[in-house]
Structure 1
Amino acid sequence: MNEKLLQYLWNFKIFTHFNFRDTDGNAIEILDFGKWNTDSGPDFLMAKIKIKNIILAGNIELHVKSSDWIFHQHSKDPGYQNIILHVVFQNDIDIRELKDQNIPTLELNDHIDKNVFQKYEDLLKENQFIPCEKIFSINKIPVNFHEENLLKKLEEKSLEIEKDLEHHKNNYEAVMFHYLAYSFGLKVNASIFKQIAETLDFNIINKIRQNKTQLEALLFGISGWLENPSDSQMQIWKREFDFLKAKYNIPEIIIRPKFLRLRPPNFPTIRLSQFADLYFQHQNLFSKIISAQNTNSLFEIFKEIQASDYWTDHFNFGKISSIHHPKVLTKDFIELIILNAILPIKYTYHKYKNENINDEILKFYIEIQSEKNSVITEWKKLGTKIKTSLESQSLIYHFKNNCEAKNCLNCGIGFKILKES
Structure 2
Amino acid sequence: MNEKLLQYLWNFKIFKSFDFKDVAGNELEILNFGKWNFDSGPDFLFAKIKTGNIVLAGNIELHVKSSDWIFHQHAGNPEFENLILHAVYIHDIEIDDFKNKNIPTLELKDYIDENLLWKYETLLKENQFIPCSALFTPKAVPFNFLEETLLKKLDEKSIEIEAALKRNKNNYEAVLFQNIAYAFGLKVNAQIFRQMAEHVDFSVYNKIRQNPVQLEALLFGMSGWLDKPEDDEMKIWKREFDFLQAKYNLSPVRFHPKFSKLRPPNFPTLRLSQLASLYHRNQNLFSKLMAAKNITSIYEFFESVKASSYWDNRFNFGKESPVNGKKFLTKDFIDLILINAILPLKYTYHKNTDENTAEDILEFYRHIAPEKNTIIDGWRALNMNAENALESQALLFQYKNFCERKDCLNCGIGFRLLQKDK
State the partner residue of 1:200: 200
For residue 290 of structure 2, give the secondary structure of its aligned residue in structure 1: helix
1:38 aligns with 2:38: yes
Do the aligned partners of 2:343 and 2:361 also contact (CA within 8 Å) in 1?
A: yes
- In the alignment, the residues of structure 2 paired with residue 413 and residue 231 of structure 1 have an alpha-carbon distance, to the nearest angstrom, of 58
- In the alignment, the residues of structure 2 paired with residue 38 and residue 148 of structure 1 have an alpha-carbon distance, to the nearest angstrom, of 24
For residue 62 of structure 2, give the secondary structure of its aligned residue in structure 1: strand
State the partner residue of 1:383: 383
State the partner residue of 1:346: 346
State the partner residue of 1:94: 94
Matched to 1:315, the amino acid is F
C-alpha spacing 1:46/1:168, structure 2 compared with 1 (3 Å): farther
- TM-score computed with the length of structure 1 as normaliser: 0.96
- In the alignment, the residues of structure 1 paired with residue 78 and residue 176 of structure 2 have an alpha-carbon distance, to the nearest angstrom, of 48
RMSD: 1.6
For residue 48 of structure 1, give the secondary structure of its aligned residue in structure 2: strand
> How far 1:159 sits from its partner (Å)?
1.2
State the partner residue of 2:62: 62
Moved more, 401-410 or 337-346: 401-410
State the partner residue of 1:162: 162
Do the aligned partners of 2:14 and 2:420 also contact (CA within 8 Å) in 1?
A: no
Flag structure 2 segments of 5+ consecutive residues without an equivalent.
Answer: none
Matched to 1:115, the amino acid is N
Matched to 1:161, the amino acid is I
State the partner residue of 2:125: 125
State the partner residue of 2:111: 111
C-alpha spacing 1:409/1:336, structure 2 compared with 1 (3 Å): same
Matched to 2:315, the amino acid is F
1:231-380 matched pairs, under 5 angstroms: 231-380=231-380
CA deviation vs aligned residue, 1:12-63 (integer Å, no higher than 9, x gap) = 2111111112223222222222222333332222322222333333322211
> How far 1:185 sits from its partner (Å)?
0.5
C-alpha spacing 1:86/1:389, structure 2 compared with 1 (3 Å): same
For residue 135 of structure 1, give the secondary structure of its aligned residue in structure 2: coil
- In the alignment, the residues of structure 2 paired with residue 42 and residue 356 of structure 1 have an alpha-carbon distance, to the nearest angstrom, of 42
> How far 1:228 sits from its partner (Å)?
0.6
- In the alignment, the residues of structure 1 paired with residue 398 and residue 223 of structure 2 have an alpha-carbon distance, to the nearest angstrom, of 36
CA deviation vs aligned residue, 1:341-370 (integer Å, no higher than 9, x gap) = 111111111222222221111111111121
For residue 134 of structure 2, give the secondary structure of its aligned residue in structure 1: helix
1:16 aligns with 2:20: no
> How far 1:301 sits from its partner (Å)?
1.3
State the partner residue of 2:27: 27
State the partner residue of 2:4: 4
- In the alignment, the residues of structure 1 paired with residue 169 and residue 27 of structure 2 have an alpha-carbon distance, to the nearest angstrom, of 60
For residue 352 of structure 2, give the secondary structure of its aligned residue in structure 1: coil
For residue 89 of structure 1, give the secondary structure of its aligned residue in structure 2: strand
> How far 1:105 sits from its partner (Å)?
1.9
> How far 1:76 sits from its partner (Å)?
4.3
- In the alignment, the residues of structure 2 paired with residue 415 and residue 378 of structure 1 have an alpha-carbon distance, to the nearest angstrom, of 21
Do the aligned partners of 2:66 and 2:92 also contact (CA within 8 Å) in 1?
A: yes
Matched to 1:9, the amino acid is L
For residue 419 of structure 1, give the secondary structure of its aligned residue in structure 2: coil
> How far 1:166 sits from its partner (Å)?
2.1
C-alpha spacing 1:42/1:289, structure 2 compared with 1 (3 Å): farther
User: Percent of aligned positions with the same letter in both sequences?
Assistant: 62
State the partner residue of 2:172: 172
Do the aligned partners of 2:168 and 2:174 also contact (CA within 8 Å) in 1?
A: yes
- In the alignment, the residues of structure 1 paired with residue 349 and residue 290 of structure 2 have an alpha-carbon distance, to the nearest angstrom, of 8
State the partner residue of 2:416: 416
> Number of residues paired by the alignment?
421
Moved more, 38-47 or 374-383: 38-47
State the partner residue of 2:396: 396
> How far 1:271 sits from its partner (Å)?
0.3
State the partner residue of 2:144: 144
C-alpha spacing 1:281/1:129, structure 2 compared with 1 (3 Å): same
- TM-score computed with the length of structure 2 as normaliser: 0.96
State the partner residue of 1:53: 53
- In the alignment, the residues of structure 2 paired with residue 113 and residue 47 of structure 1 have an alpha-carbon distance, to the nearest angstrom, of 24
Flag structure 1 segments of 5+ consecutive residues without an equivalent.
Answer: none
Moved more, 177-186 or 134-143: 134-143
Matched to 2:181, the amino acid is A
